[in-house]
Amino acid sequence: MLTVEGLRSRYGRIEVLHGLDLEVSSGEIVTVVGANGAGKTTLLKCLSGTQPVSDGTIVFRGESFASVPAHKRLKRGLAQSPEGRQIFTNLTVEENLRLGAFLFTDERVDRDMADAFAMFPILKEKRNLAAGGLSGGQQQMLAIARALMGRPHCLLLDEPSMGLAPLLVAQIFDVVKSLKERDVTVLLVEQNAYGALKIADRGYVMETGRITMTGAAPDLIADPRIREAYLGL
Amino acid sequence: MDALLQFLFSGLTVGAVYALVALGFTIIYNASDVVNFAQGEFVMLGGMITVFAFEAGLPLPLAALLAILVTSAIGVALNKLAIEPARGAPVVSLIIITIGASIVIRGATQLVFDKQLHRFPSFSGDDPIHVLGATILPQSLWVIGGALAVFVGLWIFFTRTLTGKAVLATANNRVAAQLVGINTGWVMTLSFGLSAAIGAFAGVLVTPITLVGYDVGVALALKGFAAAMLGGMGNPKGALLGGLLLGCFEALTAGYLSSQYKEAVAFIVILGVLFVMPQGLFGSKSTERV
């Protein structure tokens, strides 16, 4: 579904991704774990087109993304729930969701909205409130729900657990796991390596702009180097 | 009593023009947080182009339509040539660019047209209508009606249409807007085109009353800005009410104090709003949790 080869990206003169290879197959949950500053968010921004790529290729469902601008990537089936949620704070919860389906005007929009409310009942309660007033966890739910409203084949999730209470983290991870049944492929970027690897099929470990290790998620959890460096076990 | 009503009539007429300018501010501000100080020039262009097209022999409605289309194109060009290349610059820089653009437009208008004051005939004659001892010009009704129509149109646009929501979303979070598939460049083009068209429409309506010359835009932009501040920047309801209130303040000041103080009213309003309620009458206080 998604193939990344030799991806490089820079902020000004400082290169933060030094030639990165990554592959996500249809129906998988793949996670990229790594410490703060490893370049995980930059990777996702390159994929969604909001950060320029200086070298390498991104191929999504057989099509090169080199000349596809950010706003056309959702139409191709790639959605992102960005770092820091990035919801539309001065619009209502419902308006946020409706805008998630900006590309669509058919009756499925209403069904998808009902689905989103079923997935996160708290959003239904607050549907007419400004999204900026939601708590961090609720904003995260809204960000994920909004991304799903775009009917993606593949969802990029950036640090959904960041800053949330453990109970909420578990709830969010449950939802991510359930996306499999909806035929949504997931690329999940996380600092919470244990939580992410537990729900993922495969994982990549990222350090200072490079992939240093990859494998099936259970193998990575069992790997002594990972256990020491990322899981604190 | 008759005098008061007379003052209010003239206040509402002028206020409707301020409201139209303020409504023009609203769209661009909603899309980009930029206050477009070239908005007054759009009003001036609407009047000037209509005048010259009319004198060249076009029927008035056609001349007005031409003026609105050309001004709209100039608005789009302003965005493409001056605002878009500076994308990523702080909002203040963009606002200064619009001030520069207004000077350029004014200069170009002097060269292309002239420095005289012009007018064209009123739409429905110049016989005043008598209401309760006061009089109002038919053209005033056109101006007030025009402002109300634009207000209703914009209100529906921003609250009922997906495109209007996309404009609001773009201003609120440009990156997130792109992620949901909104072409933010197109939203900016649309906002500048629409704002310029509304400005030109105001110019067409008001020229038979106030006359038009190359330099009428400066004062209009300032008054429109005061009106928008008073009502709450970005809110169509605020723009309409702010404009009408400012017009009435001005007319009452001119009537009961002295017409020399009239011009000061807009400044007093700006200062008062900034000191007492910076978000204006209808502006939303921004509340955000992190």
Q: In the numeric block, which tokens belong to residue A163? A: 């800053």
Fold for B2-276, please state it: ABC transporter involved in vitamin B12 uptake, BtuC (1.10.3470)
Cβ-based interface (< 8 Å): residues of A facing B: 48-50, 69-72, 74-75, 79-80, 82, 86-91, 95, 98-100, 102-103, 105, 130, 132-136, 139, 146-147, 149-150
pLDDT at residue B279, as a whole number:
82
Mean pLDDT, rounded, of chain A? 93
Please count the other Cβ atoms lying within 10 Å of the Cβ belonging to residue B73: 13
Look up the ipTM and state it.
0.91
Contact B168 A90 (CB under 8 A): yes
The distance of B182 to chain A (nearest Cα, Å) reads 6
Measured between CB atoms, which of A74, A105, A132 is closest to B179?
Answer: A74
pLDDT of amino acid B290: 45
B288 touches chain A (CB under 8 A): yes
Q: In angstroms, what CA-CA distances link B72 with A199, B31, B65, B102, B199? A: 54, 16, 11, 15, 9
Predicted TM-score (pTM) of this structure: 0.86
Return the DSSP state at B87.
T
Interval A42-75: pLDDT, tens: 999 999 999 999 999 999 999 999 999 999 999 9
For residues B73 and B194, give the distance between their C-alpha atoms in angstroms, rounded to a whole number: 10
The pLDDT assigned to B286 comes to 53
Q: Do A48 and B179 touch (CB under 8 A)?
A: yes
Tell me what pLDDT residue B284 has.
63
Tokens of B169: 């979303």
Chosen for mutation from B179, B183, B184, B288 (greatest number of chain A CBs closer than 10 Å) is: B179
The residue with tokens 């104090």 is B257
Q: Which helix (H) or strand (E) holds A17?
A: strand A14-24
Report the relative pairing of strands A29-34 and A185-190 from DSSP bridges.
parallel
A131: DSSP letter: G
Q: What is the pLDDT of residue B261?
A: 85
Rounded distance, CA B59 to CA A102, Å?
42
Buried b (16+ CB within 10 A) or exposed e, A22-58: bebeeebbbbbbbeeebbbbbbbbbbbbbbebeebeb
Phi-psi region of B87 (alpha: psi -120 to 50; beta: other; left: phi over 0): beta
Residue of B180, B72, B243, B249 whose CA lies nearest to A101: B180
Domain ranges of chain B: 2-276
Q: Please report the number of interchain residue pairs, chain A to chain B, with beta-carbon separation below 8 angstroms.
A: 87
The CA distance from B32 to B75, in Å, is: 14
Q: Using CA atoms, how far apart are residues B243 and B40, in angstroms rounded to an integer?
A: 14
Q: How far does Cα B238 stand from its chain's mean position?
A: 13
B180–A100 CB contact, under 8 Å = yes
Q: Which pLDDT belongs to residue B3? A: 87
User: Could you give the percent of chain A with pLDDT greater than 90?
Assistant: 82
pLDDT of residue B2: 78
Q: What percent of chain A has pLDDT over 70?
A: 99
Which one of A41, A75, A99 makes the best mutation probe of the B interface by having the most chain B beta carbons within 10 Å?
A: A99
The whole-angstrom distance between residue A55's C-alpha and the CA centroid of its chain comes to 22
Instruction: Give pLDDT, residue B288.
Output: 47
Please give the Cα distance from A80 to A160 (Å, whole number): 11
pLDDT confidence of residue A233 = 62
CB of A150 closer than 8 Å to CB of B180: yes
Q: Cα–Cα distance between A191 and B36 in angstroms, integer?
A: 43
Average pLDDT over residues A135-150: 94
Closest-CA distance, A164 to chain B, in angstroms, reads: 12
Q: Which residues of A touch B286 (CB under 8 A)?
A: 89-90, 132
A126 vs A138: CA distance, rounded Å: 10
Alpha-carbon gap, residue B275 to B284, rounded angstroms: 17
The full set of domains in chain A, from first to last, is: 27-45+70-231 (3.40.50.300)
In sequence order, the β-bridge partners of residue B136 are: B129
DSSP state of B86: G
Residues B83, B36: Cα–Cα separation, whole Å: 10
Q: Does B290 touch chain A if contact means CB atoms closer than 8 Å?
A: yes
Question: At A223, is the secondary structure helix, strand, or coil?
Answer: coil
Q: Which residues of B touch A88 (CB under 8 A)?
A: 168-169, 172-173, 176-177
Pull the structure tokens for residue A183.
């035929």
Nearest Cβ partner of B289 from A79, A100, A134?
A134
Residue of A nearest to B180 (CA): A100
B-chain CB neighbours of A95 within 8 Å are 165
What are the tens digits of pLDDT across the range B129-175?
A: 998 888 899 999 999 999 999 999 999 999 999 999 999 999 889 99
Across the range A149-154, mean pLDDT stands at 96
What is the mean pLDDT of each successive set of 10 residues along chain B, which is 290 residues long? Answer: 87 94 90 90 96 95 96 96 88 93 95 92 89 90 94 92 93 92 94 95 94 91 91 89 94 89 86 85 60
**pLDDT greater than 90 at residue A36:** no
Q: Which DSSP letter does residue B80 get?
A: I
How does pLDDT run across A198-233, given as a tens digit for each residue? 999 999 999 999 999 999 999 999 988 888 887 766
Give alpha helix (H) positions in chain A: 40-48, 70-73, 93-100, 108-119, 121-125, 136-149, 166-178, 193-199, 217-222, 224-226
For residue B165, give the nearest of A75, A95, A146 by CB distance.
A95
How many other CB atoms are there within 10 angstroms of residue A139's CB atom?
24
